[in-house]
Structure 1
């Protein structure tokens, strides 16, 4: 289940986990986008604790590339500050239009995976977030 700090137009949090990395047309049809706000965030609840090894983030292809820049990937079990105080796996730099970047998280344990842009007022846009890891039973996802 995914949630975000606010929603721009009809660009809800679930659009970042719908399996559609790229689609023709504008990002409103396939990306999650928060409102233009201070400290925007997006959170995935995995419902159980997992060891997270990799997170892949896909940027929009049509415009506004900076709306993914500077997003901190946070992984952990706390909902303090909406999960944005959990340990950091990485920080996105400018992701080229319509491309994906992956971050190695080394098996960080967590139920929550957050994307968080601190101390800046802007939209946070995520066209796809893919999380790879293993559960306590050894199952992979």
Structure 2
């Protein structure tokens, strides 16, 4: 009986440890965007680990003004996403992210913009960070942020994606 109690305790501790070890998997990803605004903007700025909300300091992303601008990160494998935090610009243009959608999935159809919606961003205050959670943990390799059906700029400074790898199961 003590053996089963020990095994159960070890299993509980390992589950608890795994839940506390969520990492920002975006840091290992590869990013791209529909367009890139001139100057210091780069899609990579949004996954550099730097939460600085001032565009002029080189840690923010901005698209050009266009129809349905988007940004995407390839996480290089499929993850079960628990939550995503986005830091908005702090120097201007806080409303450039209003109405954006966060999409997660494994498809690159339409540049990944056909994947299911994880969350809709109504507004993030100037320089603020907002967190979007999933009770069920959506899975996907690609995370997109898009302003669907809108002509404008898309801009933000950091995207942090917390999740765990999805491991394939063998059917032997």
Instruction: Please give the TM-score of this superposition, normalised by the length of structure 1.
Output: 0.92
**Once the 2 structures are TM-superposed, how far is the Cα of residue 22 of structure 1 from its aligned partner?**
1.7
The residue that corresponds to 2:71 in the other structure is 42
Partner Cα distance (1:81, 1:8) in 2: 21
The residue that corresponds to 1:20 in the other structure is 50
C-alpha deviations, 1:57-89, integer Å up to 9, x for none?
110001111111111000000011110110101
Partner Cα distance (1:57, 1:71) in 2: 11
Of 55, 78, 83, the match for 2:84: 55
The residue that corresponds to 2:163 in the other structure is 133
More helix by share: 2
Q: Secondary structure at the match of 2:164?
A: strand
The residue that corresponds to 2:7 in the other structure is none
Q: Secondary structure at the match of 1:30?
A: coil
The residue that corresponds to 1:121 in the other structure is 151
More strand by share: 1
**Once the 2 structures are TM-superposed, how far is the Cα of residue 14 of structure 1 from its aligned partner?**
0.3
Partner Cα distance (1:50, 1:102) in 2: 18
Of 87, 93, 97, the match for 2:116: 87
Tell me the C-alpha RMSD between the 2 structures.
Answer: 1.1
Q: Secondary structure at the match of 1:82?
A: helix
Of 102, 122, 136, the match for 1:73: 102
Q: Name structure 2 gaps, 5 residues minimum.
A: 1-29, 168-172
Larger radius of gyration between Structure 1 and Structure 2: 2
Instruction: Please give the TM-score of this superposition, normalised by the length of structure 2.
Output: 0.76
Partner Cα distance (2:166, 2:104) in 1: 16
Q: Name structure 1 gaps, 5 residues minimum.
A: none
**Once the 2 structures are TM-superposed, how far is the Cα of residue 136 of structure 1 from its aligned partner?**
2.6
Number of aligned residues:
135
